[in-house]
Amino acid sequence: MADNATLVADPHTSLRAQLLEPITAGRLIATLLVLFVGSLIVDYTWKPTYPTSIPMVGHGRGFIPGFKNFFGYVFHYRDWIIEGYEKHTKNDRAFIVPAAVSRAYDIILPRSQTAWLLERPDNVVSAHNAHNDVLYSDYNFLGKAHARTKWYNHVIHRSLARHLPVIVSGIEEEVVHSTDAAFGLDTDEFKTINLWEAWLGIVPQVTNRMLVGNPLCRHEDFNKSMVAFVDAVIINCFLLNMIPKILHPLFGPLITLPNRRHWKKASKHSIPLIEQRLRDMARKEAGDPEFETWSPPEDFITWSIRLAKAEGNVGELNPVNTSLRLLPIQFAAIHTTVLTGHSMILDLLTSNPDADFIEGLREEAARVLAEEGGHWTKSALARLYRLDSAIRESQRLSNFSATLVERVVVAKEGITNEAEGWHVPQGSYISFNLQGLHHDGDMYEKPDEYDAFRFSRQREVYEALPAAEKDPDEGLRLKKLGMVTTSDHHLAFGHGRHACPGRFFVAHELKMVIAHLLLNYDIAPFEGERPKPKWVGATIIPPVEVTIKVKRRKGTVPQA
């Protein structure tokens, strides 16, 4: 029974109730909507204005059409790129395509203007800044200081190509180890394998043999953390695309919190390794007798330390910094290589069975490998003309980006395009139409068909000629059909002086993995219709649920 004392309301509770009473779900949503629209308006005023003489696809110019373009970008970007190619690029004209809400629109140049753009100096148009903007590197790669450095590119440019012949044997070890683990050793029964997961089990291990060496490249927790980091970057890019740029300083650090967590997990393994490598290399340089016969592993860690010492760059001898430099390389190397390998196997399995591409690739791989005594070398991999062509053809047909070779205008005075007579201001984005170029019927016979040997037939005929009959100029022309040779119609690795510096390693990696797979496994014919990838804006979502059936070929299992 309650006493007769007068009940007095808690003044704090009463005040809190009065403050919260107006905050209904409807009002909260309305407030957020007003904030979002207001942010869009501010963003709109900040974006560069393009000349009306440049035609545009999408819903048109202005704020209201721009709002419609925001939603259209999510669902119709690839369609717009194809439309622009047919209407404008084929007529040798640039066009404008809407971009994500946080980005300025892209100006898509025709192929004839490739040289004009790529010859502009870096203080006029910047590839580095454009890449950082597209990937939201200031947030995804743990801070502007780390995101804006060019050190990791500098190391790769200076060291990777010259050390490729040395590291091939180590890469081959990881290819065999990871591919056997991913596809199994059962020679009796076909095994159902998720193709995407198989490539995710192979590529990080092989890539990290080049980056951090053995045994860390085989450490499951380290590789899982790096894959999780890469996945987080992709998700964050999509989210930040959809948020007005003015709100990025607020949401960017929050959205990318998982990135730091994944890096910390990985750094527990990488930082001690880097610290040990620094000590060992210092003892070697000091003439320590215990290190007289020791040589540092040829990997990114060693190359970075060696170059930092040679150039007197003390900051890059910090183990934490070195572990951070690994992040953008992990992203570039893992994501695109898995996509390429996944698409290539699907292209191969769903190609015309009468062409017998798989047997043709097997014959070539077995022959070249036997010529080298059973182990891959740089020279042997260069002679895999059919496999090189099969990968390049997949890059052409199953492109994972609709546009590429992005540049942002950084010159304060902007840039003038003399060919078409227009001028655009600082902050403008300029790119090329990968989707259109790679599927142009005027450039490729049956452009929507996978022809694995499209780029190798002429090369094989030339190589079969007697030495006296070979024209050096023709040999040079045919060499340009290789997958690592970029051009104004082969843009999978970019083009010009900023083309992907790691493409030679990626080519070696893919060739060894696919050759090992085809030589050691039977793959059952693909069942049913091949699922198509989905496009959300400029981002492709591959059919990661696809499975294939494989069985180890008898007589190929290594004996213990």
- Which residues belong to the annotated binding site? 500
If we measure between CA atoms, which residue out of 36, 101, 46 comes closest to residue 74? Answer: 101
Q: What angle do CA 121, 401, 261 make, to 5 degrees?
A: 90
In the block, which residue shows the tokens 């198989």?
Answer: 198
DSSP secondary structure string, 156-203?
HHHHHHHHHHHHHHHHHHHHHHHHHHHH---SSS-EEEEHHHHHHHHH
What is residue 50's DSSP assignment? P
Counted residue by residue, the chain has a size of 560
- Known binding residues for heme are 500
Structure tokens at 61: 């110019």
300 contact partners, CB below 8 Å, separation of at least 6: 152, 155, 156, 159, 210, 211, 212, 325, 326, 329
| Alpha carbon distance 325, 304 (integer Å) | 9
Count other C-beta atoms under 10 Å from residue 22's C-beta: 8
If we measure between CA atoms, which residue out of 547, 549, 550, 514 comes closest to residue 203? Answer: 514
DSSP secondary structure string, 211-230?
HT-TTGGG-HHHHHHHHHHH
Expressed in angstroms, the distance from the first to the final Cα of the chain is 84
| Alpha carbon distance 61, 357 (integer Å) | 48
| Alpha carbon distance 146, 140 (integer Å) | 10
Could you tell me the CA-to-CA distances from 141 to 9, 268, 332 in Å, in that order?
A: 52, 17, 12
Contact 155, 301 (CB under 8 A): no
Structure tokens at 491: 């843009």
| Alpha carbon distance 188, 553 (integer Å) | 9
In the block, which residue shows the tokens 């930040």?
Answer: 240
